[in-house]
Structure 1
Amino acid sequence: MEWDPAKYVQFGDYRDRPFFDLTGRVHADRPVQVVDLGCGPGNLTATLAERWPSADVVGVDSSAEMLAKAAALTGAGGGLRFEQADIAGWKPSTETDVVVSNAALQWVPGHQEMMRAWLDALRPGAWFALQVPGNFSAPSHALMRGLAASATWEPQLGGVLRGGESVGEPADYLRILLDAGYAADAWETTYQQVLPGRDAVLEWVRGTALRPVLAALSAPDAAGFEAEYAAALREAYPQTGHGTVYPFRRIFAVGRKNP
């Protein structure tokens, strides 16, 4: 599946805000190595390098398209660098003491078990922080899955989209952190995003959730799917004089490993 960095950052203020709400709860003083799992185009990873200029800050992502964009930031703010790798195969080093994953783990089946292994491997005093979307039951996602499962589209899209099983609830992540010996906090926030323009929700999901569908269909079929989906979205999220209100629930968890 290819990613479009320009489309991903189209709604930058809304996509960036959860990252800062998450990392604002990480109180590491002078970390040696900071890792951003699923760093995307690297713009947010660069803020970690600015925050901790003496740290080795590593952005990890599987997308060559995203990392091509991130490459221009290498070296900014100190020791910022990027690696192409699958999150599922990542392991912390003995020097890793801050791990951040923002809006990435929902793409990784079995990430809760991986998280347990990462937490166990991190050294005492290390921080782990994650944010994942919690809106898989929202109309934007339910309508997409319903259309993909219809008689017209199921032959091409059967099994392409995942649902609520993609992520846990705040209590699930809290329990994992506590069981691993971390002082932990977990919470959720629903952002009332006011998106501009026509078919604003469609434009939003084109950058993320719709990517698997677009990757599985030819260009003509993708246009046909989008036309049906857009009509359903207009009913679910009517445009107003202020824009289109798109509630987005996010799930957060942060923990520090006990000494």
Structure 2
Amino acid sequence: MPDWSPSDYLRFTDERSRPFAELLARVPGTPRSVLDLGCGPGHLAAMLRRRWPGADVVGLDASPAMIDAARTADPDGRYVLGDLRDLAAGRPPTGVPSRPDLVISNATLQWVPDHRDLLPALAGLARETFAFSVPGNQDAPSHRLLREVAARGSYADAVGPVPRRAVGDPADYLEILAGPGRAVDAWETTYTHVLPGEDPVLRWISATGAQPVLQALEAHDADHGTTLREQFDAEYGAALRRAYPRQPYGTPLAFRRVFVVVTTG
């Protein structure tokens, strides 16, 4: 992927932030240092500071656009450009604390190939607590339709296979992370977000899960003078409207999340 769009991501700030607030509520203690993996545009740093006013909070993200947006919106914060895979491999980017009390991540690990293999190392970085949430909606209509439409005709030629991201269930993460001296709290929640406006599910997923497909189509259009992105939006948007019919009060979107909190000691 070329990069993310912070402005698109922040269209549904309240809905995207709610799981993070509920994850924080289950983190015990008073950490003095916090590392936020996949911090995005920095919009969640304020929640960390409100919960633990005295903590040193550092955000890490692999997206230059997201880090630039975070530094602009929160000039007093600390944000580092880097890949969490390097961190798990023992190569922490400059500016990242070596043993933070809390390592936390919101809706990031699902983007990392074979992220489950990295979890023991990431948990081992935390002096006290490792906490994360990942979307568990890979089989929801929004994602199934994304894969189905992208596999059609000229879209498939431009995009290639769209993977089903292998996010685990709570029991999977419990099995990976449980061990002597560790307590693992793993659970799931399905939210029913009510989204406003026209084609809100398309706007929602276009900023996150559909980004690799859309960027591949845009690159093809730029190289070949085609209009695949526009055609895809129309075809995929129509399929989403059928799957998520608009109601008088808005468009309901069921969104499943998986949460894990690992404490040591």
Superposed pair shares fold, TM > 0.5: yes
Whether 1:130 aligns to 2:132 is yes
1:119/1:180 contact within 8 Å kept? no
| Structure 1 counterpart of 2:195, one-letter code | L
| Structure 1 counterpart of 2:124, one-letter code | D
| Structure 2 counterpart of 1:28, one-letter code | G
Whether 1:253 aligns to 2:260 is yes
- Describe the shift of the 1:87–1:95 C-alpha distance in structure 2 as closer, same or farther (beyond 3 A): closer
Task: Report 1:58-137 matches (<5 A).
Answer: 58-72=58-72, 73-75=74-76, 80-91=77-88, 93-123=97-127, 126-137=128-139
Deviation, 1:176, is 2.0
Deviation, 1:217, is 1.3
Task: Report 1:208-227 matches (<5 A).
Answer: 208-218=208-218, 219=221, 220-227=227-234
Partner of residue 202, structure 1: 202
Deviation, 1:215, is 1.2
Aligned equivalents of 1:244, 1:189: Cα separation in 2: 19
Aligned equivalents of 1:172, 1:10: Cα separation in 2: 32
2:155/2:217 contact within 8 Å kept? no
What per-residue deviation string (whole Å, max 9, x for no partner) do you get for residues 207-248 of structure 1? 101110111113521111111101111110111111111100
1:116/1:180 contact within 8 Å kept? no
Deviation, 1:119, is 2.0
Partner of residue 11, structure 1: 12
Partner of residue 224, structure 2: none
1:34/1:58 contact within 8 Å kept? yes
Partner of residue 233, structure 1: 240
- Describe the shift of the 1:138–1:234 C-alpha distance in structure 2 as closer, same or farther (beyond 3 A): same
2:8/2:207 contact within 8 Å kept? yes
Partner of residue 182, structure 2: 182
| Structure 2 counterpart of 1:236, one-letter code | A
Deviation, 1:43, is 1.2
Aligned equivalents of 1:12, 1:54: Cα separation in 2: 25
Q: 3-state SS of the aligned residue for 1:21? A: helix
| Structure 1 counterpart of 2:254, one-letter code | P
1:131/1:251 contact within 8 Å kept? yes
What per-residue deviation string (whole Å, max 9, x for no partner) do you get for residues 134-178 of structure 1? 00100000000011112332111113x32142x111111122221
Query: Percent of aligned positions with the same letter in both sequences?
Result: 47
Task: Report 1:153-172 matches (<5 A).
Answer: 153-159=155-161, 161-165=162-166, 167-172=167-172
Partner of residue 57, structure 1: 57
Can you give the 5+ residue segments of structure 1 that lack an aligned partner in the other structure?
none
What per-residue deviation string (whole Å, max 9, x for no partner) do you get for residues 18-68 of structure 1? 000011111122x23200000000010232133323322110001111111
Partner of residue 21, structure 1: 22
Of 150, 153, 159 in structure 1, the residue corresponding to residue 152 of structure 2 is 150
1:194/1:245 contact within 8 Å kept? yes
Can you give the 5+ residue segments of structure 2 that lack an aligned partner in the other structure?
222-226
Aligned equivalents of 2:17, 2:44: Cα separation in 1: 7
TM-score, length-scaled by structure 1: 0.91
TM-score, length-scaled by structure 2: 0.89
Pick which of 179-188 and 32-41 moved more: 179-188
Tell me the number of residue pairs that the alignment of Structure 1 and Structure 2 aligns.
249
1:120/1:180 contact within 8 Å kept? no
Pick which of 216-225 and 14-23 moved more: 216-225
| Structure 2 counterpart of 1:96, one-letter code | P
Whether 1:191 aligns to 2:191 is yes
